Amino acid sequence: MNYRHIYHAGNFADVLKHAVLARLIVYMAQKDKAFRVLDTHAGIGLYDLSSEEAQKTGEWVDGIGRILDTDIPAKAKAILQPYLTAVRDLNPDGGLTLYPGSPKLTRMLMRPQDRLSAMELHPDDYETLHRLFDGDFQSRITELDGWLALGAHLPPKEKRGIVLVDPPFEIAGEYERLADGLAKAWRRFSGGTFCLWYPLKQGAPIAEFHAALKALEIPKMLCAELSVRSDRDTTGLSGSGLIIVNPPFTLKDELDILLPFLKDRLKQDRHASARAFWLRGEEVRERD
Ligand SMILES: C[S@@+](CC[C@H](N)C(=O)[O-])C[C@H]1O[C@@H](n2cnc3c(N)ncnc32)[C@H](O)[C@@H]1O
């Protein structure tokens, strides 16, 4: 396990993932009934963007650095509000030093009745995450293989919730594993909202991945993809995607506003592109 999210925290992929995660949580919180967020690949929860590691890549500069405290058109601003408020709340003196990972962002948006279960397998990152949530009875942090949690921890006892699956994609076969993991998890918790993250880069088997997901016959599955540059540059990601199962009914319209804004704001060359479409359910119609 070599992957450390500190090198990538706050980058363009985190912006899309965390903005959407915040929308999913805000939507869940519209009903009083408690919900649980299961975060299978949680990371360390809080990232110091002034650290040597984050400064080394500087990826956040072309991610959250292009968004926070900038002019944003009103509709996109309203959609980004829960996410950006959380980032701002972590930096009360202004500027941008601390950035929330998915468990921290989740925790900041939860209400007293809600719960977080987060898994992290890297021993050092687990220790850091565990320390961050020390004494917080609403959060359970476990040093466990997140793929196993998709079986063992579902359905949650609240019977409502969000499952975020955000693997590092450092070994071959992760797209297949993601589709298989969703199949297993959905059988146990078909009413849950699932959010799966995947990278877009040269040679990635995206068509096969989408086909495998479609074959699962899960009724409602939305896809959001954002590429910030051509995939001819083989160093690192050119973009990222999210699969959202059982999305809030408002999410597609929100993505249709958010994605064009993010594409314009985060683009690194003229090949940037974005799309949101139903893989299954609603109007199944692919568009670019
Ligand atoms: C992309 S990062 C997570 C970022 C985090 N979800 C966020 O948005 O802030 C992936 C994390 O998964 C951890 N990891 C890798 N394999 C794992 C596994 N099998 N189970 C749980 N965690 C794992 C890595 O150590 C890494 O911290």
Q: Give residue-wise pLDDT tens across range 126-140.
A: 999 999 999 999 999
Q: Which domain holds residue 187?
A: 5-27+36-287
How far is residue 171's CA from residue 243's CA, in Å, rounded to a whole number?
20
How many whole angstroms from 282 Cα to the centroid of ligand 1?
31
How far is residue 87's CA from residue 19's CA, in Å, rounded to a whole number?
11
3 CB under 6 A from ligand 1?
yes
Residue 110 has pLDDT above 80, yes or no: yes
Model confidence pLDDT, tens digit, residues 224-275: 999 999 988 777 899 999 999 999 999 999 999 999 999 999 999 999 999 9
Catalytic member of 124, 166, 253, 288: 166
What is residue 288's predicted lDDT score, i.e. its pLDDT?
Answer: 40
Residue recorded with tokens 């921890």: 153
CATH number of the CATH domain containing 70: 3.40.50.150
How far is residue 22's CA from residue 203's CA, in Å, rounded to a whole number?
30
What is residue 283's predicted lDDT score, i.e. its pLDDT?
Answer: 64
Q: Which residue from 14, 40, 121 has its CB within 8 A of the most atoms of ligand 1, so it is best to mutate?
A: 121
User: What are the structure tokens assigned to 34, written together?
Assistant: 């408690």
129 CB under 6 A from ligand 1?
no
CB 107 within 8 A of CB 136: yes
Peptide bond into 155 cis (omega under 30): yes
Q: Which is nearest to 198 in space by CA: 188, 187, 183, 208?
A: 208
Q: How many CB atoms lie within 10 A of CB 191?
A: 10
Model confidence pLDDT, tens digit, residues 57-70: 999 999 999 999 99
Average pLDDT over residues 84-97: 97
Which pTM was predicted?
0.97
Question: Can you say how many angstroms the Cα of residue 46 is from the centroid of all Cα atoms in its chain?
Answer: 15
What is residue 282's predicted lDDT score, i.e. its pLDDT?
Answer: 78
What is residue 287's predicted lDDT score, i.e. its pLDDT?
Answer: 47
Average pLDDT over residues 69-92: 97
CB 138 within 8 A of CB 116: yes
Residue 286 has pLDDT above 80, yes or no: no
168 CB under 6 A from ligand 1?
yes
Task: For residue 148, count CB atoms less than 10 angstroms from its CB and return exposed for 0-12, middle for 13-18, buried for 19 or more.
Answer: middle
Question: Can you say how many angstroms the Cα of residue 43 is from the centroid of all Cα atoms in its chain?
Answer: 12
Atom of ligand 1 nearest to the CA of 5: 2
User: Taken in order 139, 141, 147, 151, is the CA torsion positive or negative?
Assistant: negative
What is residue 284's predicted lDDT score, i.e. its pLDDT?
Answer: 57
Q: How many CB atoms lie within 10 A of CB 216?
A: 17
122 CB under 6 A from ligand 1?
yes
Residue recorded with tokens 């993250």: 197
What is residue 78's predicted lDDT score, i.e. its pLDDT?
Answer: 98
Helical residues (DSSP H) of the chain, grouped into ranges: 12-28, 52-57, 74-89, 102-109, 123-132, 146-152, 174-188, 206-214, 251-266
Write down the mean pLDDT value for the chain. Answer: 95
Quick check: is 89 catalytic? no
Number of domains present in the structure of the chain: 1
Least confident of 11-20, 36-45, 249-258, 278-287: 278-287
Higher pLDDT, 217 or 182: 182
